[in-house]
Amino acid sequence: MHFVVSWEIKPKGSTQAEVNTAMLEGIQGYSWLRLLSTFYILEIDSPHDWNIVHEKLLAVAQRYQNEVNFLMSPLYDIDSEYFVYKMPDQDFYQDF
């Protein structure tokens, strides 16, 4: 199973890095593919994992109110045919 998660962080500088690190901790432990700077396709084992990630990212968003917005797609369990113009050169895949 897979789903998309993406976020936008409003402040710049050190606060942006702090929020981004917190969001990345929310997806830690799952395999992912990063196609854009904060656009991830996560691979999970069950719908329960979606709920876990949702709760983690929601906690971050509540901690940094008005500083981060995020989006999570519904689950899908078939291969998708995303069009990707150019894959990043490095650090685009994490396997757990």
What's 40's domain CATH number? 3.30.70.930
Name the domain count of the chain: 1
Q: Which domain holds residue 17?
A: 2-75
CB atoms within 10 A of CB 19: 20
CA 26 to chain centre: 8
Segment 50-67 mean pLDDT: 96
43 domain residue, yes or no = yes
Strands 93-94 and 68-72: unpaired
92 domain residue, yes or no = no
22 domain residue, yes or no = yes
Segment 39-46 mean pLDDT: 94
Q: Coil, strand or helix: which one is 57?
A: helix
Contact 55, 9 (CB under 8 A): no
58 domain residue, yes or no = yes
* pTM for the whole structure: 0.83
Residue 87 has pLDDT above 80, yes or no: no
94 domain residue, yes or no = no
pLDDT at 13 (0 to 100)? 85
Which residues, listed in sequence order, are joined to residue 6 by a DSSP beta bridge?
A: 39, 71
Residue 91 has pLDDT above 90, yes or no: no
